[in-house]
Structure 1
C-alpha cells in the first residue's frame, strides 16, 4: 500500500489529509524493502495550497510505481514534513531526515531562501543526498555550481528574460517590479533588472513586500505612482492576489505578470475574476490542461486514478515531472541504492525524454530544462495560451 507519509506528527498528518485530493488511494506496494524519499514542503502558512499540490504531484507518481511493483522489488515510501515556508523549520526538518540512514534522496522542497540556507549551512553536503525538483528558480541555487540540487525547471532569470523579451517586442518600455523581500524575490528582481539592462533600460519602480505577509499596500502605492505600463511580480499566491486586487481597485491599468510559482485558481479566488483576468503567468513546464503530449496524458490518467477529486494544476504537474526524474534515477541506481549511487545515476540522464519534455544533466550540469512560455488568465478564469 502507499505510505503517505509515515513519520508525520499528528498536526502535520491532519494538515495533509484535510485536503480531499491528498487522501491516499490504496494501491498494492511491492514487497521487500522500502526506498525512502524525504520531502519538506509548506503545508501550512501562506504557501499551503502550493505545498499541497507539490506533495500531490509526487504522490501520484510514487503510487503508480508502487502499484506496478516498485523499483527492483522495493516500494517507494514518501515521507513528508511541513515547514510552513519557514527557513528555520526547513533546516531543522531536513537535518532530521538526513540524520537517518533510510532516505536515499530528497524531493520537491520550496523556497529560494529555505533551500539557500541548506546550502549555506552545509546541510545537503553533510547529508550527501541529492535534492530533486525544488520548486524554485532562484539563481543562487544554480550559480555557483553545487552538485546536490537537480533542477527540473528553468530559473527565474530565464523567466524574466522571456517576459522582458515579450514586453520589448510589443513596445512596452516602462516596467515596474513588485517582489518578495527575501532570496526568492531578490533572485527574480535581479533577473528582471539584468534582462532590462540588456536592452538599455531599468525598472521604473521596484517595490518589495515582507515575506510571509500579505502587506502589499506600500508596493501598490509605489507602483501606481510610477505609472508603469507593465508590472512583473515576483510573488506567491496570497500577496500576489492582494496586490492585484488593490492595484486594480485603485485604477491601476498596467499589464500584470507573475513568475511561475503561483496557482491561477487561487489568484482568481482571492483577487476576483474581474481583477485577475488578463494576468500573464510565466510557465516552465508544458501546458497540462490538454492531453497533447504523452507525459500530460500520463499525468491526467494517474491524477484521476490516485486522486480523483483533484484538478489538473501546473504545480502538481511540475512535481509529477520531478518525481518521474527521481524514479528514473532510482531505477538506474540499481538494487539497494545509496545516496551517492542515486546522485551518479541522475547525472546519467542526458537528453532524457519524459514524454514531450526533455531534461538533461551531467557531472557539470544540474539545470535540466530552460523551457519558458507565457499563459494568461482568460475571461472564464482558466489559463489560456
Structure 2
C-alpha cells in the first residue's frame, strides 16, 4: 500500500524522514480509487490543523507529523496496514480512520488495546464504536442513530408518509436500518420496503425493483457513493418520484458525477459538522484560513472540517499531556478534557464518555450541484 507521509515541519524535511523530536500521528484511509476524494479530504483537514499549530511553534515545542497510508477500503487489508503503521512508525496516536467495518476490525484485533494507542475521530457513527466503550477510542462525530433520527424527522417534515430503506448489508447499513425503524416506531410507522447490497458489490437492481414496486415517497440510504448513485439512477428509470435522503458518508460531488445532477438534485444529506461555508462559526473560519494558508490546493469540505476538528481535539490532549507526551499520558489527558469548545462546536470526553458530539444538521443539493442549508 502507498505511504503518503505529510511532513509538516522544516525539521522533518531537513532530516529527510521523521525526526525523533517530532510527534508522529498516523492514519490509514483510501487514498486511491473511487474513495480517494474522501481519504484526501480527511488528510487535508488534519494536516491543515497540524501545519497551523506547527507554524506557532508546535505543541509544547513538539512538531506534529501526519503519516498517512493508503489502506483501501477493505477491513482486513486496512487493519493490516494499521498494524504495520503502529509497529514500524511508532505514532503517538491515530486519527480519522474511515469505515465502520474497518474500525470494527481494528477493535476485534485489539490493535488499539495491545499498543495502548489513542484513536481520535474515527469516521463512523457505528454503535460498535460506542458500546462497550473502548478506552482508546475517541469519537468526534454523532452516531448513526442520531443521523437516522434527523433524516426521518426531515422526511416527515417534508410530508413523507411511505418511507423505504436502502442500505449496505454490514454494520454500517444495519445500524442505519435499525435506527430508522426505531425512529419511525415513535411515530407509529414502519419501513414499507427494504433493499440491500453486499459490501463491495455493484449490482443494486434487485433493491431498486423491490423498493420501486412499493411506491415510497421517501427513501433513506445508508450506502456508499457508487451504489447510492446506481440506486438513485435506477429508481428514476423505474419512474419513481421518491425523495432521497442519505447518511453523511456520501460525497455529493461523486454522486453527481455518477448519477447526474438531475437525479441528485434535492438529495438531503445528514451532516455531523457545520457547513464548511458557514463563516458565522469560528471553527469554520479557522479551518478555511488554515487550509488556504497551508494547503491551498484543497477545497473546504465536510470531511475536511470533521478531521480538522478531530485534530483540534488531539492537539488539546497533547497540550495537556506535557512536553514529553506518551500514549499513556495522552490517553489520560484526553479523558480529562471534559467539555471542549472547538470554536463553536461543542464536544465532551471523559473516562465514561466517548460520544464527542451530538450535532447533526442537514444539507440539500441544489440545482447548481452545491449545498443549500
Give your verdict on TM over 0.5. yes
Q: CA deviation at 1:266?
A: 1.8
In structure 1, distance between residues paired with 2:20 and 2:126: 38
Q: Give the SS at the match of 2:350.
A: coil
**Residues 1:32 and 1:147: Cα distance change in structure 2 (over 3 Å):** closer
Indicate conservation of the 8 Å contact 1:132/1:149, yes or no: yes
Instruction: State the match for 1:38 in structure 2.
Output: 26
Residue 28 of structure 1: how far off its partner (Å): 3.7
Q: What SS does the aligned partner of 1:80 have?
A: strand
**1:162 aligns to what SS in structure 2?**
helix
Secondary structure, in 3 states, of the residue corresponding to 2:332?
A: helix
After superposition, residues 16-165 of structure 1 pair within 5 angstroms as: 28=10, 33-100=21-88, 102-165=90-153
Equivalent residue in structure 1 for 2:165, among 173, 177, 185 = 177
Matching residue of 1:21: none
Q: Alpha-carbon deviation of 1:377?
A: 0.1
Aligned counterpart for 2:176 among listed residues 180, 185, 188? 188
How far residue 175 of structure 1 moved from its aligned partner, in angstroms, is: 0.8
Aligned Cα RMSD in Å?
Answer: 1.9
Structure 2: stretches of 5+ with no match in the other structure? 13-18
| 2:185 aligned partner | 197
1:285 equivalent in alignment to 2:273: yes
The verdict on how the C-alpha distance between 1:76 and 1:27 changes in structure 2, with shifts beyond 3 A counting, is closer
Paired residues of 1:283 and 1:374 also in contact (CA < 8 A) = yes
Q: Tell me the distance in 1 between the aligned counterparts of 2:332 and 2:241.
A: 50
TM (norm. structure 2) is 0.93
Residue from 169, 185, 200 that aligns with 1:212: 200
Pick from 307, 313, 333: which aligns with 1:325?
A: 313
Deviation at 1:12, TM superposition (A): 4.3
Counterparts of 1:348 and 1:268 in 2: how far apart (Å)? 43
* Structure 1 portions without partners, runs of 5+: 1-8, 17-23
**8 Å Cα contact 2:8-2:64 kept in structure 1:** no
Query: Which residue does 1:361 correspond to in 2?
Result: 349
Match of 1:306 in 2: 294
Of residues 165-174 and 308-317 in structure 1, the stretch that sits farther from structure 2 once superposed is: 165-174
Deviation by residue 1:23-73 (Cα, 9 ceiling, x = unmatched): x79764599701111101111344222111111111111111222211121
Equivalent residues of 2:7, 2:67 under 8 A apart: no
- Check 1:101–1:344 CA distance in 2 against 1; reply closer, same or farther (3 A cut): farther
Give deviations 1:176-198, integer Å, cap 9, x for gaps. Answer: 11111112111111111111122
Any idea what SS the aligned residue of 1:361 has? strand
Distance 2:344 2:10 in 1: 29
| Structure 1 residues 296 and 29: CA distance shift in structure 2, 3 A | farther
The residue that corresponds to 1:20 in the other structure is: none
Distance in 2 of aligned mates of 1:172 and 1:318: 30
C-alpha contact (below 8 Å) 2:7/2:66 kept by paired residues: no
Select the residue among 210, 213, 232 that pairs with 1:244.
232
**Which moves more between the two structures, 240-249 or 109-118?**
240-249
Alignment of 1:221-300 (within 5 A): 221-300=209-288
CA distance in 1, matches of 2:25, 2:143: 24
CA separation in 1, counterparts of 2:20 and 2:129? 36
Aligned-partner Cα distance in 2 for 1:96–1:381: 40
Quick one: distance in 1 between partners of 2:197 and 2:89? 40
TM (norm. structure 1) is 0.91
Report the more deviating stretch, 364-373 or 29-38: 29-38
CA contact (8 A) 1:263 1:315 kept: no
